[in-house]
Amino acid sequence: MKMNFKAIVSLSFTVVALSSCVTDPDSSGYEYMPDMYRSAAIEPYVDYGQVKERINPELAGKLSAMVPPFGSIPYFGTDSTMVALNMPFPILPNSAFKLTHDLRGFDFSDEDTYMLAANYTTNPLKLTAENADKLFDDGKVLYNHNCSQCHGEKGDGKGPMVENDLFSGVPDYADKKELSNGQMFYSIYYGKGAMGSHASIINKKEIWTIIHYIRKFQDENYGKFGEAAASTETTDAAN
């Protein structure tokens, strides 16, 4: 009797295992309780070709995440200052960036827009005696997370990626005092040389914060007020 029971159990498992095999290369076979990991509510990056017993071949292999309409601006709340900081940058990327940096989702210009950015001298994120310490603290965190790998913690172009010969030609910020705020934003936002675009990684306010922090590498008095006021050159760059 025991042998018969074992044979029946073994045969049952064999039948179930074989019946789970399918010839469709895209199929994962039969699913155990699919409602545990296939939400009935629409979610991004889920294949809704089959939900429970419902099969819809037209949805198979299609992403449920929708791309926002071209030109859409993310919601940044009702703070007018924050909203203004995150409005589109007025200088467009050069059309060559579509090939050189695989830049997508932007309007483009055939002009040398990097040079046009040289005339954009204003950092719209105003630096004041009240917010300087916090801006530099935030800038340090953002810089170390996004820039120091190549540019180095001191902005000298000697980050670990450079020291390990994975990249070359990274400048020392101390030698780039002539760059306007617009050129620095342009380079971070759209990319420049071997550096790719950071537009999808950090928002515009964060980029302007990083630029304030970079200015500290160029002038130790930058962001100081009162008797230790920054030089006229760097004060103009901040205003």
Q: Are residues 126 and 159 both part of a single domain? A: yes
Q: Which of 41, 47, 5 is nearest to 26 (CA)?
A: 47
Q: Is residue 215 part of a domain?
A: yes
Q: Is the dihedral of CA 172, 176, 180, 182 positive or negative?
A: negative
Q: Are residues 14 and 127 part of one domain?
A: no
pLDDT of residue 32: 67
- Whether 216 is in a domain gets the answer yes
Q: What's the token pair of residue 204?
A: 């515009």
pLDDT of residue 54: 79
In the chain, the number of structural domains is 2
pLDDT in tens, 57-97: 887 777 667 777 888 888 888 999 889 999 999 999 999 99
Residue 46's pLDDT is: 72
* Residues 94 and 174 grouped into a single domain: yes
Q: Residue 117 pLDDT > 50, yes or no?
A: yes
What's the rounded Cα separation, in Å, for the pair 26 and 35? 19
Tokens of 40: 């009935």
Alpha helices in 63-131 (DSSP H): 80-85, 97-100, 113-116
Q: What's residue 230's pLDDT?
A: 42
Which of 29, 59, 89 finishes a domain?
59
- In a domain, residue 132? The reply is yes
pLDDT tens digits for range 37-47: 666 666 777 77
22 to each of 18, 19, 28, 138, how far by Cα in Å? 9, 8, 8, 54
Min mean pLDDT across 21-25, 54-58, 98-102, 167-171 is at 21-25
d(CA 187, CA 144): 17
Are residue 42 and residue 94 in the same domain, yes or no?
no
Residue 207 lies in a domain: yes
The single residue listed with the structure tokens 């859409």 is: 72
pLDDT, position 78: 92
Cβ–Cβ under 8 Å, residues 231 and 223:
no
Q: Is residue 64 in a domain? A: no
Place of tokens 């545990």: 36
User: 37 with 129, same domain?
Assistant: no
Specify the pTM: 0.70
Residue with tokens 């029971």: 5
Residues 144 and 40 in one domain: no
Domain that holds residue 33: 2-59
**Same-domain status, 93 and 188:** yes
Shared-domain flag, residues 40 and 109 = no
Query: Is 21 in the same domain as 125?
Result: no
Between 80-94, 161-175, 217-231, the lowest mean confidence (pLDDT) is in 217-231
Q: What is the pLDDT of residues 196-219, one digit of tens each?
A: 999 999 999 999 999 999 999 999
Residues 145 and 202 both lie in one domain: yes
Same domain, 90 and 133: yes
133 and 44 in a single domain? The answer is: no
**Would you say residue 54 lies in a domain?**
yes
Averaged pLDDT of the chain:
84
pLDDT surpasses 50 at 129: yes
- With 90 as the cut, is the pLDDT of residue 239 above it? no
pLDDT band at 159, cuts 50/70/90? very high
Q: Residue 186: what are its φ and ψ, rounded to 5°?
A: -55, -45
Average pLDDT over residues 163-184: 93
In-domain check, residue 70? no
Residue 190 included in any domain: yes
* CATH code of 103's domain: 1.10.760.10
